[in-house]
Amino acid sequence: MRSNGFGFVAPLLVLMIVAFNVPIIYMLGLGFWDKSRGFSLAPYEALADAPVYLRVLGNTLRISLIATLANVAIGYPLAHWMRGLGNRARMIAIALVILPFWVSILVRTYAWIVVLGNAGIVNRSLQWLGLTEEPVPFLYNELGVTIGMANVLLPFLVLPLFAAMIRIDDRLLQAAASLGAPARTIFWKVYFPLTLPALAAGTLLVFILCLGFYITPAILGGGRVPMISNLLDTLINQIPRWDQAAAISTILLVVTLLIFAAYRRLDRRASGT
């Protein structure tokens, strides 16, 4: 029985090794191996000597952090509001949150150009209201990239956070209220600590996804907002410098794995396992 079961799984296992593991191993090898000199740390030394790479890394971390905080500022109140809805309204709200997954990320990204462009809906409304005389440059800068990334990744925070919130027993909140605690105290002393592990796990998940984002920064940034994904595209397809790209990818992989380990630990705490 076991051998037959392994026979069914073996094709998938081979596919994963060939399509996923082998490219990663090859990428790691490019960062540590030179054809003429053998083992070498020259690509990493070049990264340390070139300030541009450190600036791009810092820029990526900063934009990812801002987009993640924007998601937290919008997602937590949204998930909390959804928890208080009735069953029918709650299902409608969940459907609206999930709806962006049914639309291509390219379509959603280009839609922001229609909304935030110089002749877009937002700028035309601001000018019609007399709030601005000239179009506000929302696009092709860090603001546009941050808005686009926050929009795409918002469901990844709202859905698991909402799932954690609906598991909170209302009797805990009622017990605190029966003891005379005001609503603000109940929220900060009872409700928020119970949702904190899920919030932390969702925040780390969104931050991980931000680090490797490519489509949205490339389109809404217009090539003016350097991030790691765009830098890797340049090093691989334009220059090309595969050793430098492999070194940057290795560093990004290590950082992502460390964050993912923290995410898994917080996720287990949030689920109570």
CA distance 60 to 66: 10
CA distance 50 to 57: 12
User: What is 166-234 written as a DSSP string?
Assistant: TTS-HHHHHHHHHTT--HHHHIIIIIHHHHHHHHHHHHHHHHHHHHT--HHHHHHHTT-S--HHHHHHH
CA distance 109 to 140: 12
Read off the pLDDT of residues 62-104 as tens digits, 9 standing for 90 and up. Answer: 999 999 999 999 999 999 999 988 889 999 999 998 888 888 8
User: Tens place of pLDDT for every residue, the chain, 273 residues?
Assistant: 455 666 777 888 888 888 888 888 887 777 777 776 777 777 777 777 777 888 888 888 899 999 999 999 999 999 999 998 888 999 999 999 888 888 888 888 888 888 888 888 888 888 888 888 888 888 888 888 899 899 889 999 999 899 989 998 888 888 988 888 888 998 998 899 889 888 988 898 899 888 888 888 888 888 788 888 888 888 888 777 788 888 888 888 888 888 888 777 776 765 665
Name the residue among 136, 143, 159 with its Cα closest to residue 67: 143
Q: Which domains does the chain have, with CATH numbers?
A: 47-271 (1.10.3720.10)
